[in-house]
Structure 1
Amino acid sequence: MSVLVITGTGTEVGKTVATAAVAAAAVAAGRSVAVLKAAQTGVRPDEPGDAQEVSRLAGAVTAAEVARYPEPLAPATAARRAGLAPVRPRDVAEAAAKLAAEHDLVLVEGAGGLLVRFDDAGGTLADVAELLAAPVLVVASAGLGTLNTTELTARELRVRGLELLGVVIGSWPDSPDLASRCNLADLPEVAGAPLLGALPAGAGALSPADFRAAAPGWVTRRLNGAWDAEEFREREAG
């Protein structure tokens, strides 16, 4: 696996911090890593974006963007309102392929969910994954409502013939409620793919040094970490 596409089930599910954890674990395992943000929205030209945040947390990671738009909207809408050219799936795939020629692992982070539109032609992150023939990692929330959005995402990937590598919980609460605890068993079932990690709530607020030290313990061996899904489930589900 030289390219991994990372999507969320929606916004605010912890996708960028999860991307940073995957990057940090890979760096700790001795791999060279690049993170590519397909379309950065909602930040000014002089502000750090999601790729830069991944680099800050994960360490020695190459950070890149394909396009940036100032308003916090879907990329197609943000591009249209700003009078800027939209990002197209082929642009993202070509940028990822170039980075893959120089790195062991390229993490392509989307904007929001899998089918958020990049352009007026309806291009999405799913199209990027198809062009790259790359597996997809889904970042999901822990609690009530996550089963529906996770299953819808997994179904779309299957319809397109794309590989769903697994699911990572983007923010695991300190005191999980009943729905969250049950979802540890239900998420992999509805996704048809394994649970590959769970990040503690507030992980992104850790110092970079603490984040890098802890990150391999939040993701499984498949993602260069040491997290054990069954052990976590037995401990947290009660």
Structure 2
Amino acid sequence: MVTGHSNRSCGLFVTGTDTGVGKTFVAACLAAILRSKGICVGVMKPVETGCGLSQGRRIPRDGLLLKRMAAAQDPIEQIVPYRLKAPLAPLVAARMEGIRIRPGRIEKAYERIRSSCSFMLVEGAGGVLVPVTDRLFMADLIARLALPALVVARAGLGTLNHTLLTVSFLQGRGIPVAGVILNDVDGKKDLSKKTNAALLRRLLPVPVLGQIPFRKGLSLQCSTRTGPWAHLAGRHVDFEALLRLAGAPR
């Protein structure tokens, strides 16, 4: 049993069917779009693993990208409360460093950021059943932060099962799902990429908001301008509908 906020927050928790499905890309696009609309957006990645070392500090590349795309003024220590070395599940990576992840610390950082912005954008790590602590899965963290979930899924073969399971699980936990975005992460020829979106629209009780094509040579970490991101995202995904569903200010 987990506790959470009494009221749903204005924002989204970007989760996925798996690791490597493009959650950071989608979250960064969302941050860029919100910023282009003049909306003050708060960003957060509660736990980031696989952080390299620079001048004695762990560098959370995803968290820094979100901060840059949102032009957020919050310190990176609040945006990414836990920055871990090993590219593993948060529970395992934290144990390897002798760190105990405390959900209360994450919630306090979240509240500090939320208090000074109009819309919260939080990116998870891995899928909804990735363990954060011995007693807390990523889905539990979504519930505690009281945000609707946006599910990012692969575009290709296998995504039907993964996406249906993820949405079903979240809804079974009482977590609202704002929608699903499919993302072509590998550019490989796959006939199912032409049929999955239409079939998921028939099978899912939530909207499939679009499918992002493979982006050859695009570097997330080298991007500094928000305009191209907002344009690219808007060409393939109905972000306007998503933001309406999430209650973004107009």
Instruction: Classify the TM-score, shorter chain.
Output: 0.7 to 0.9
Deviation at 1:145, TM superposition (A): 0.4
Q: How many residues align?
A: 222
SS at match of 2:234: helix
Return 5+ residue gaps in structure 2 as ranges.
Answer: 1-8, 245-250
Structure 2 CA distance for partners of 1:197 and 1:94, relative to 1, 3 Å = farther
TM-score (norm 1): 0.83
Structure 2 CA distance for partners of 1:218 and 1:105, relative to 1, 3 Å = farther
1:4 matched residue in structure 2: 12
- Deviation string, structure 1 residues 54-85 (Cα, Å, up to 9, x no partner): 234x2523551021110011000111111112
Paired AA for residue 205 in structure 1: S
Which deviates further from its counterpart, 144-153 or 204-213? 204-213
1:60 matched residue in structure 2: 71
Structure-to-structure mapping, 1:2-151, within 5 angstroms: 2-44=10-52, 45-56=57-68, 58-62=69-73, 64-88=79-103, 90-121=104-135, 123-151=136-164
Deviation at 1:172, TM superposition (A): 6.7
Residue 159 (1) aligns with residue 172 (2): yes
Give the CA RMSD over aligned residues.
2.3
Contact 2:180 2:206 survives alignment (8 Å): yes
Which deviates further from its counterpart, 40-49 or 152-161? 40-49
The alignment-based identity, stated in percent, is 36
SS at match of 1:205: coil
Paired AA for residue 94 in structure 1: K
Paired AA for residue 84 in structure 1: I
Which of the numbers 213, 222, 238 marks the counterpart of 2:241?
222
TM-score (norm 2): 0.80
Contact 2:42 2:119 survives alignment (8 Å): yes
- The structure with the greater share of residues assigned to helix is 1
- Distance in 1 between the 2:131 and 2:60 partners? 23
Structure 2 CA distance for partners of 1:116 and 1:187, relative to 1, 3 Å = same
- Distance in 1 between the 2:188 and 2:87 partners? 31
Deviation at 1:117, TM superposition (A): 0.6
Deviation at 1:175, TM superposition (A): 7.6
